[in-house]
Structure 1
Amino acid sequence: MSILNIRKAQREGARLVVGISGISGSGKTYTALQLAYGLANYDASKVGFLDTENRRGSLYADALKNEAGEVQQFWIGDLYAPFSPQRYIDAILEFQKLGVEVLVIDSVTHEWEGQGGCEEIATAGNPRLPDWKRAKAEHKRFVNTLLQSDMHIVACIRAREKVSVQKVDGKTVVEPLGVLPVCEKNFMFEMTASLMMWNEGKAQQVMKCPAELRDILGRENGYISAQDGKALRAWVDGAKQQNPALEHARNSLRTVTEQGVDALKEAWQATPANLRKQLGAAFLDELKAAAQSFDAQRATSNSHQVDELNQQVLGNGAQAAA
């Protein structure tokens, strides 16, 4: 069974994931919405907003306006604790099922340090011996969903002043690290492009940006607007165009693989026969290989969790009996 579809490289079917970080009041939410509006070709009905900030996103209900100054409504959904990676994944897939083309997530910080997020997942068993392997595995599934989504995604990330505390010659030394995004350390570099907002959005620090998008997202001065979002959409649409229905089916099926082989079979059967034929057997083999790998990872993880639970309940005697 092949796990790859090896072909000549060409730009096609691009989906963007843009990270916008900043301290409170830096303009990241408003900027993200404007960017999303342009990416959606000024069609607010194709814009979704996943709100983890206790309904603060609703304060921006009038943020999108057409040329006549008329408010354009977008879709919004509120996600409350626990902020586990899986709940983020489920929420993203709900917006994808709705037919949203561009999703703003405000914010992804809760997935890392919020109630029920990765930091709590890591310390749930024994705070003194955190299980970062499990937490990071769940985080990776969340990132994979972002990257394989059928939607363009604009992710907002909180930022704050951070310090490093170390022991040097027996003394505690506190070293300022500056303002940094509050997320997993590699997260900002998983994005297509990522920015740190300053001066209420009027200036940006580029953390990552492809050369092709520098004129749009890499200027570093001036507000990022809906026009910039439209320029991003023009860049995406300048690639080789795919059948929208076929591309939607391809991306949706890829995101389903995370749920395992049974979910993939159900989703494949629900896909129209003409699209299944166009996607082909090689693509299905690729999906099956991914779904089987996810199932194997879950089986291993569940086995470890059972062992840990037995040890907690029965003590070391359970381990000896095993």
Structure 2
Amino acid sequence: MFKKATKQSIKIRLAISGASGSGKTYSALAIASHLGSSIAVIDTERGSASRYADLFDFDVCELNSHHPAKYIEAIQSAEAAGYQTIIIDSLSHAWFAELELAGKGFDGWKNVRPLERKLIDAMIGSSSHIIATMRSKTEYLMEEYQAKDGKTKTAPKKIGTAPIQSSGIEYEFDVAGEMDYNHLLTISKSRCSELSDRTFLNPGKEVAEILKNWIAVPLAPWANWKSQEDALVWAGQELPDLSLEDLQAEWETLQPLNGKKAPAWVERVNQLKHPF
């Protein structure tokens, strides 16, 4: 029923929100280009991703219908084709479609919520990395600045606020961040501790490398063993207080684990290392 938890099947789930012009699409492509060798873009932004075709290598599917079922179909198609990373640009259009399907009354949401859940499940359960962009509401903040004449003046500054999306959608992702008009990504939610509360100007390779290291599966200790002697040398490094004779005696009495002696040896060494 239970099995040891590993990172072997983990895929990245990244959400990037921001107002129009903040650099969501470019950043998604820049990060994706360092995650894997093949990228599929599900484009609902009327070809915005294709403007970067000279900078990044990717394939695109332009959705004319923004019904959640069309998103799901595109995600499944990209998975079946073997793309390592799928960019959804933008997820907000699915939310607009859901609002339209639900109408003005509460009763309409009874049919829409299951559709929304199916789309979320398609993203979370995907065998590919998923990067989803989301539009955020554009608001203006009055900001003071020093004029050339030395006087302090105020001027409106565009800022992006909450994503235009179902409330709490960011919690479905491993990492979520917001882009501002200076192309600065601020991480607001992260299961990867190395990314928590950090900022990245023009995010790309650095973010991708951190994410790849986070989900990386370490090599098994026996990956480079070629003989019993290699296994004993490794055990000696793990258990410096035991003599070679003691380790050889342990090896001779070892029972294979599922027909294999190497993983059984690692388990036995760990038992000796942590007896309680």
Q: TM (normalized to structure 2)? A: 0.67
Alignment of 1:1-322 (within 5 A): 5-40=1-36, 43=37, 46-64=38-56, 73-81=57-65, 83-113=66-96, 117-123=97-103, 127-161=104-138, 179-201=161-183, 203-214=184-195, 218-239=197-218
Q: For 1:85 and 1:239, how far apart are their aligned partners in 2? A: 37
Paired letter, 1:185 = S
Partners of 2:175 and 2:192 within 8 A in 1: no
The runs of at least 4 aligned residues of structure 1 exceeding 3 Å deviation read 127-130, 238-241
**Paired positions, count:** 202
Deviation by residue 1:98-148 (Cα, 9 ceiling, x = unmatched): 1100011100000001xxx1111212xxx3454212211110110001000
- For the Cα contact (< 8 Å) 1:12–1:240, is it kept in 2? no
Q: Find the residue that maps to 2:167 and give its secondary structure.
A: coil
Change (3 A) 1:240 1:150: farther
The percent of aligned pairs where both chains have the same amino acid is 26
Q: How far apart are 1:221 and its partner, in Å? A: 4.0
**TM-score, normalization: structure 1?**
0.58
Greater share of residues in helix: 1
What amino acid maps onto 1:19 in structure 2? A
Cross-structure match for 1:295 = none
Give the aligned CA root-mean-square deviation in angstroms.
Answer: 2.3
Gaps spanning 5+ residues in structure 2: where? 140-159, 221-276
Q: Is the 8 A contact 2:135 2:163 kept in 1?
A: yes
2:34 partner SS: helix
Contact 1:188–1:207 at 8 Å: present in 2 too? no
The structure with the largest alpha-carbon Rg is: 2
Q: 2: distance between equivalents of 1:107 and 1:186?
A: 17
Partners of 1:180 and 1:220 in 2: CA distance: 17
Q: Secondary structure at the match of 2:54?
A: coil
Structure 1: runs of 5 or more not aligned: 65-72, 163-177, 242-322
Q: Which amino acid aligns with 1:160?
A: K
Question: Residue 230 of structure 1: CA displacement?
Answer: 3.1
The SS at the match of 1:188 is helix
Structure 1 equivalent of residue 270 of structure 2: none
Residues 160, 39 of structure 1: alpha-carbon distance in 2 compared, 3 angstrom cutoff: same
Q: Give the Cα–Cα distance (whole angstroms) in 2 for the partners of residues 92 and 14 of structure 1.
A: 17
Shift in CA distance, 211/233, structure 1 to aligned 2, threshold 3 Å:
closer
